Amino acid sequence: MEDMDIDLKESNKNNNREKLPDSKTISVALLGSPVYDNRVLKEMETLASSGFKVSLISLVKSDSSSSLPEEFNNIKAYYLELSKYNRFRNRVLRIIFNLLLLMTDTFRYTKLLVSQKSNVYHANDLNTLLQCYIAAKINRAKLIYDSHELHKDSVMTLKNSRFIQKYLNMKESFLIRRADGVITVNKTIADILSQHYSIDEPEVVMNCSVKRDVISKNLLRESLDCKKNMKIAIVQGAIKISLALEPLIMAIEPLDDVCLVFLGYDVRPEKERAYLKEIIDGKSMSNRVLFLPAVKPAEVIDWVSGADIGIIPLRNMGKSYYYSSPNKLFDYMMAEIPVLASDFPEIERIVSESQCGYTCDFSDSASIKKGLQLLLSNSEESMKLGANGREKALLKYNWEEQSKRLVQMYFDITKTDRL
């Protein structure tokens, strides 16, 4: 249960009060484990602290459900295990068998959602939207669509056949117009969704960090096997194929006083992991490129604050990434460390507005190296950039500010008076 603690108790202490008997009920639908989905956890806790009765309905892998808590922070959780898909050598048999399993899982999951008889169904991303739509229709409830990215241009969508891509686009087009409210993560994506689907502009709720003081700046360095005078550049979050890892390592190589640290789970295919390890070993950098496991969301800021630079090395793998505003950016700002990030529109806008670092082309190791040297060559300037970022995070880019829009949307949709 400690793993689910996202440190919202302090920020919500003025909202915590006895719930009214007629509190509106919300079912939050999620595909995957909630343990490290910080956005979903923050949304649920915020709504619960605002007087709503919140339940999580999560579809998870069979090997993870036993370790997940059934109740946390006044939120009841229900888990449904995904079927184990088969890998028949015969392609036709594999498609038919797995399609039947998918249909079965969809039916079971929809049935569980319907049984909640909630006032509102909150669909996190496209993969739960249809199930929530059906449940909302049957129960005459409201439907909220929380789109965390541009699904029509996401890597997961684009890797499918054209037929599947067309189906997914038609699915989102049909369902998004029938939602009672649409939420997304930044203004650019909100504008694209509004124009593409001819809907009212979605509510923007950015995935910012909760306001908090930095308790310790020593956790990171104390856990590393690197020299005390080494500068630490950190990449926080899951290690995915969307990260420009090879150019980043090439840029770090000639900088002998820099240690590159990855803080998060490695979710890349085994082939990608082996290839990167070969590069690191070939350049004798295994003592300067280090990997640490993910930490609890409530501890991220304390760990990150021990770094000298926060890195966001995104590759341009489509519009979904190009227009993203990753939560690690807000983590770095709250942790008061300067940022070196990909020069994508939303990221560049926030970095420029906040004066918290620099952006560069992460497909070019020379551009990355230049950015690193700018931050490392002037410690006074780097400290100023870090301080600028924290100041802006405390004023604007924090969950307390962003969540006001989420709560107001729910009060408006459910026609509920504030407690």
Please say whether the dihedral angle defined by the alpha carbons of residues 84, 85, 87 and 93, taken in this order, is positive or negative.
positive
DSSP notation for 297-353: GGGHHHHHTT-SEEEE-B---SHHHHT---HHHHHHHHTT--EEEE--HHHHHHHHH
Whether 164 and 228 share a structural domain: no
CATH code at position 123: 3.40.50.2000
pLDDT digits (tens, 9 = 90+) for 240-278: 888 999 999 999 999 999 999 999 988 888 888 888 899
Helices (H), 152-299: 155-158, 162-176, 187-197, 219-222, 245-252, 270-282
Structure tokens at 59: 């579809």
Rounded Cα distance between 414 and 111, Å, is: 23
CB-CB contact of 304 with 223 (8 Å): no
- Rounded to an integer, the average pLDDT of 75-94 is 80
Whether 78 and 176 share a structural domain: yes
What's the count of helices (H) and strands (E) in the chain, helices before strands? 16, 14
CA-based R_g, the chain, Å: 22
Measure CA 283 to chain center. Answer: 32
Whether 150 and 31 share a structural domain: yes
pLDDT digits (tens, 9 = 90+) for 163-190: 778 888 899 999 999 999 999 999 999 9
Whether 383 and 405 share a structural domain: no
Number of domains present in the structure of the chain: 2
Whether 244 and 198 share a structural domain: no
Whether 225 and 368 share a structural domain: yes
Mean pLDDT of the chain: 88
Q: What is the pLDDT of residue 229?
A: 83
Question: Is 214 inside any structural domain?
Answer: no
Rounded Cα distance between 236 and 340, Å, is: 12
Whether 270 and 403 share a structural domain: no
Between strands 181-184 and 142-147, the pairing is: parallel
pTM of the model as a whole:
0.88
Domain range for 238: 219-395
Interhelix angle for 270-282 vs 245-252, to 10°?
10
